[in-house]
Each structure stands twice: as structure tokens, then as C-alpha cells.
Structure 1
Amino acid sequence: MSSTPRFPRPLRPGDRIGVTSPSAGVAGAATQRIEFCVDWLRQRGYDVVVGECMDGTGLTSAPAEQRAAELTRMLADPDIHCVVPPWGGETAIDLVDLIDYDALAGAEPTWLVGYSDLSTVLLPITTRLGWATLHGDNLADTPYAVPDGLLHWLDLASGDGPFVQRDSGVVTDWWRFEEDPRATEWKQVGTSRWEVEGGGSLDVSGRLIGGCTETIGHLAGTPYGDVRAWAETLDGPTVVYLESCEEDAVNTCRFLHAMRLAGWFDRAEALLVGSTRAPDHPDLKQREAVLDAVGRLDLPIVWDLEIGHVPPHLPLVNGALARVVVDGDVREITQTLA
């Protein structure tokens, strides 16, 4: 039996957005930034509610059971139409088996938005529940203006699509909270272009799935990261996207081999790889790590998309039907939420 992912309804003015920290909380100079981001959403007509799991004095915002319960409650609440964390963290993996999937299965889908450690939660919400999830800015980055070619995550969450995004051509960076907690313009620090491995062109389509390599890589081979089983329910292929935050190339290589062995790429038409500042190993570069694990699959690879820890951010919807075209001066991805 094939299935189509379930898409949350588009956000509307006046809708309620829940803020909770499934991983790291908020403290110190970051507090002023998050307060500004909440106000930024409210000024755009959204009713923002902030949960109790926001404490930033430790590794996580609260015990795993409490974080899972608050996330489940927000996602199941019919009055909340979107949930977004302040940012990622380190150990969201500790709550993936504590989420009440049975309760959520009986609820209407809610947008869950974010990246980095939140990828660890986005993945099972899509693969186990069939809900589309949105790999885009966390709350702390939400006020940043979007460069030409890209869309804001709110554009995807509030629109009907199709959504076309093109290579922005820029590499940016954040303003430190101590410098400007109200920043809305990225620092431009360089240029970049999407590139097909080996040259040539590419035109592929499939359902999107992916996230941060060093967080979701630990889910490969578990019931919470069974991409192969999820892909087998689809009527068509997948397009996998991955990005690395900070692990050196050897660990990137290990994660990707684990994903390969768990069947993550069995139905993939292409692999999209985000730009990274993660370090190379003396004997292995980041690109070589990807090729070591995936190169043997004869799978097209597109490098340097804006999909992770090197901003700006190109939001992708897990479960969306995507067409990726890289041909001459055309570098674009079109997402259809159907």
C-alpha cells in the first residue's frame, strides 16, 4: 500500500504558534534574542505561546519526559498550528521514544519547524506518523531577511505552493547576540554555487527526507529513523538531503555508511548536501567522506545547498514532492505539498 504524507493546513493570520525547547533551552544573552523573535512573530499577526520547557541553565531545557510531554501536547492541541524551538542543542535523541505517537496519530497534523538537533525529532514525526515537517530556521533565525532566490519558512507553512527556490549564491553568518540581539540582516561572508558531482546537469524528482547528519545518523537502523520502510510506502522515489554541523570528516563518513547500510538511499534519486564548516580529517575531506559512503551507489550528488549550519537557509519540507534541476544557469528546487 502506498501512502501520501499528511500536510498541515497553511498558517493563517491569528493562528497560534507554540514555542518549546525539545533540546537546549535559553539563558544569558540569548534571552533577549528569543524575546525579540517572539515579538517579531506577534507583530506579524501570530498568537505565540511559550511553553515551560525553556530553561537554558543545563544541557537540556527540562527532563526528557517533560520535554516530550510538552512537545506532544503542543502538537496535539487543535488550537496550535505550528511549533518551533528556539534552536537545536545536543541530545534531543533522548525523547524520540517518549513522544506519544498514538495520541498524535489521532490529531490533525501540525507544522513542526526547525533544524540542527530538531532534525532528530522531525524525522520520526514524518517517518512514523506520516506528517510533513519543515526543515527550516529555528526561532532565533526567523527574523532574518531572506536573500533573493530563497523563501522564508513562513512562506512554505502559510502558502499553497508550488514553492520554487533558487541558488542564492551567497554565504552568510549570524550576528552574535551580544553584538545585536535584534539583527534582521545576515552578514554576507562569501559566495557559493550548487554543483553536481562530476559536472553535468541534473533533473530529478522525489519525496524529500533528511536533516542534520550527526543527529539523525544515530537514528539509522532504529524504529525512529527507518527511512527505508517509510520510502517503501511511497508511490515513487525519494530525494535525500543532508548537512553536517561540526563533526570531522571521519565521523561524517561513519554516519553516512550507517545510513547506507540501513537503506536510506535505496529509493533515492539524488543526494543534496548542504554547505558545511565542519572540519576535515588530515586524511579525509568532508566531500571525500560523502563519496566514500555514497559514491559506490551511483547516486547523483548536488553540493553546497543552503540547508543547514551555514546560512542562509533554504527551507525544505520532509514529505514534499520535490523537483531538483541543476542545468547551466538554472539551479532550483520546486516543492509541491501534495
Structure 2
Amino acid sequence: MAFSVDWLRNAGYEVVVGECMDGSGITAGPAERRAAELTAMLCDPEIRCVVPPWGGETAIDLVDLLDWDALAEAEPTWLVGFSDMSTVLLPITTRLGWATMHGDNLADTPYEPPAGLLPWIELASGPGPHVQRDSGLIATYTRFTEDVRAVQWRAVGEGTWRLHGADSLNARGRLIGGCIETVTNLAGTPFGDVAAFGRQHAEDGLIVYLEAAEDEAATICRNLHALRLAGWFEHATAILIGRTNAADNPNMTQEQAVLDALGRLELPIVFDVEIGHVPPHLPLVNGAMATVTINANVRQIAQELR
């Protein structure tokens, strides 16, 4: 934490550290206290971005405790993170219309992105278009116990985006999505009404992105069916699936889980995008207009805030 905060300060940013920082339990404090602090930060005009230390657990306990009326009156503020933070990022975008960032948490922010990818700070600093390309890199973290000051991803292999359902792709739409295991719990509630968000932006269409953190393939398959039944893909032009180390089921791979649930939609699906729990990370902006292009020579996504 100290290294990451100092890294931001050395980069020229003023950093305010919240009061809810107790790391002894599954969360950093009671839900009511965390919700009040997050609401206050997002409503504070002096704070331009809120970033969690890391993904966390059970952020779903916050969504009905946030002061949505106060947030609706506030100037939009960036909220950045991934993993369990998807549970909060998604409704901030679908309910308020704010752009939110599915990008590195604080602990990952000092890491240098490989060629082709951009740091989340760059996307948050201007409207774009921000163009990112397939990095070809599969990496892993350096454990805090090994080197708390690590800023380079450790390469463990090579990979590339793979397109299913088409020979090439030029899809356009507003981005929305997150971590499968967390956002599935919002489907069918007022905090995960992506179907309504799709209707609101029907003229633009949606590009839905999803990534599996750790659940095995059969569970991911059930979750994806639930999102399909909740209407998440009714206005989708394409689906992006993040690279994952989550376990296969003895009778179903992670890719088969996706195809079982979403293949019947007859939408182009891009597998192995750097948007999940396998680093490096390609930051995506919920609500941004995006164009995904894949052909023999190009694998890229361009995002623009408008």
C-alpha cells in the first residue's frame, strides 16, 4: 500500500487515504461505514478518482447503501478497479450514466503495461480515442512477500485474442461488463439491469465484456446462462471474454462453458482478451463507445468517451 501510494505521489498526484483500511477481516469495515465513505469520496469535488487497494470481497453489501440521490447530484468522479469491484462499477454506470473503469487496482497501478496496452491513468486523463492492441503476453504477479516494489509483469507465456463465430470483426457499441462471479449476483436487481441499459443505448449497441476469476467451468456456465436470461445481450454487437486461469470442469472447459451459454446468441465472441485476473491488464471503460477490430493484421480496441 505504502509503495503504491508513494508511486502515485511521485507521479504528481495528491493522494487521500480513506479511513476504512482495516485488513483483518473479509472487508475493511462495516458495510454502512464503507458505503458512507465511498459516497463521500465520489461526491467530493476535490477527489477526481477513487481506487481500491485491490479487488476485495462482498462489495455487493454496498450497492443498496450508497446514497444514490447524492451521487445523482454530484459531478461524475472516476471509480477504478476490477474483480469484486465490478459489483460497484456496473451500477454506477448503468444507474447514473457515469463512466467507470475496469482497470488495475491500486496494488497493480505501478506495473508498467507491455507494448500495445495503456495504463488506466491515461484512459482517465482524456476522452480519447484510446487505442489498445493485443499484447501477446501472458504474465503473472510478483508476490508482495518477494518484492513489494515490483513494477514489471513476469512473463509466463504468449497468447493472442481468438475470434469465434466470424472470420473478421468490426464491432461497435458501448462497453459494459465485469467479473462474472460478482456481476451475476446483480442480474435481475435494480443494480444490474443491463437489459435496460441496452435499451437506453439501443442505437449505439453494446459490447459486453466478461471474465472468470476462479469458479470452475460448470459454475461459470450457469452464471452466463443467468446473464443471458436477464437480457444482458439483447443489444450486444459482440462479446469479449477475458483470459482466465479458472479451473475446467472434468466434462467442460471454460471456453465450452462460454459457448454453451452464449453460443446460441450467434454473436461474435473474442476469447483471451487481457481483461481478467491473468495479467497484464487492458483497461476498459464502462459506458465508453468502443470499436473492436480483428482481421488478419489487426487485433485492437479503440475507446472514446462521448
Tell me, yes or no, whether TM beats 0.5.
Answer: yes
Alignment of 1:226 onto 2:193:
yes
How many angstroms does 1:75 deviate by?
A: 0.2
Query: 1:65 — aligned with what?
Result: 32
Q: Deviations over 1:20-75 (max 9, x none)?
A: xxxxxxxxxxxxxx110000000011100000111110000000111111000000
Query: 1:53 — aligned with what?
Result: 20
Query: 2:284 — aligned with what?
Result: 316
**What SS does structure 1 have at the residue aligned with 2:16?**
strand
How many angstroms does 1:236 deviate by?
A: 1.8
**What SS does structure 2 have at the residue aligned with 1:88?**
coil
Query: 1:83 — aligned with what?
Result: 50
How many angstroms does 1:186 deviate by?
A: 0.6
Alignment of 1:169 onto 2:101:
no
Query: 1:261 — aligned with what?
Result: 229
Query: 2:81 — aligned with what?
Result: 114
How many angstroms does 1:160 deviate by?
A: 3.0
- Cα-Cα RMSD: 0.7
Partners in 2 of 1:106 and 1:90 — Cα distance? 28
Of residues 156, 172, 193, the one that matches 2:160 is 193
TM-score of the aligned structures, taking structure 2 as reference length: 0.99
**What SS does structure 2 have at the residue aligned with 1:113?**
strand
TM-score of the aligned structures, taking structure 1 as reference length: 0.89
Query: 1:23 — aligned with what?
Result: none
How many angstroms does 1:311 deviate by?
A: 0.3
**What SS does structure 2 have at the residue aligned with 1:292?**
helix
Partners in 2 of 1:325 and 1:160 — Cα distance? 20
**1:53 counterpart letter in structure 2:** C
Question: Within 5 Å, which residues of 2 pair with 1:30-49?
Answer: 34-49=1-16
**2:148 counterpart letter in structure 1:** P
Alignment of 1:105 onto 2:72:
yes
Alignment of 1:329 onto 2:297:
yes
Partners in 1 of 2:35 and 2:41 — Cα distance? 10
**What SS does structure 1 have at the residue aligned with 2:49?**
strand
Partners in 2 of 1:222 and 1:241 — Cα distance? 19
Partners in 1 of 2:170 and 2:177 — Cα distance? 19
Q: Deviations over 1:91-117 (max 9, x none)?
A: 001111111110000000000000000
How many angstroms does 1:198 deviate by?
A: 4.5
Q: Is the 8 A contact 2:205 2:235 kept in 1?
A: yes
Alignment of 1:305 onto 2:290:
no
**Structure 1 residues 127, 198: CA separation in 2 closer, same or farther (over 3 Å shift)?**
closer
Runs of 4+ residues over 6 Å off in structure 1? none
**What SS does structure 2 have at the residue aligned with 1:47?**
coil
**What SS does structure 2 have at the residue aligned with 1:283?**
coil
Partners in 2 of 1:198 and 1:77 — Cα distance? 45
Q: How many residues were matched structurally?
A: 305
Q: Is the 8 A contact 2:198 2:205 kept in 1?
A: yes
Query: 2:246 — aligned with what?
Result: 278
Partners in 2 of 1:294 and 1:150 — Cα distance? 27
How many angstroms does 1:231 deviate by?
A: 1.3
Structure 1 unaligned runs (5+)? 1-33
How many angstroms does 1:199 deviate by?
A: 5.6
Structure 2 unaligned runs (5+)? none
Percent identity, aligned pairs only, is 65
**1:244 counterpart letter in structure 2:** A
Query: 2:259 — aligned with what?
Result: 291
Partners in 2 of 1:336 and 1:198 — Cα distance? 26
Q: Deviations over 1:2-36 (max 9, x none)?
A: xxxxxxxxxxxxxxxxxxxxxxxxxxxxxxxx110
How many angstroms does 1:159 deviate by?
A: 2.3
**What SS does structure 2 have at the residue aligned with 1:41?**
helix
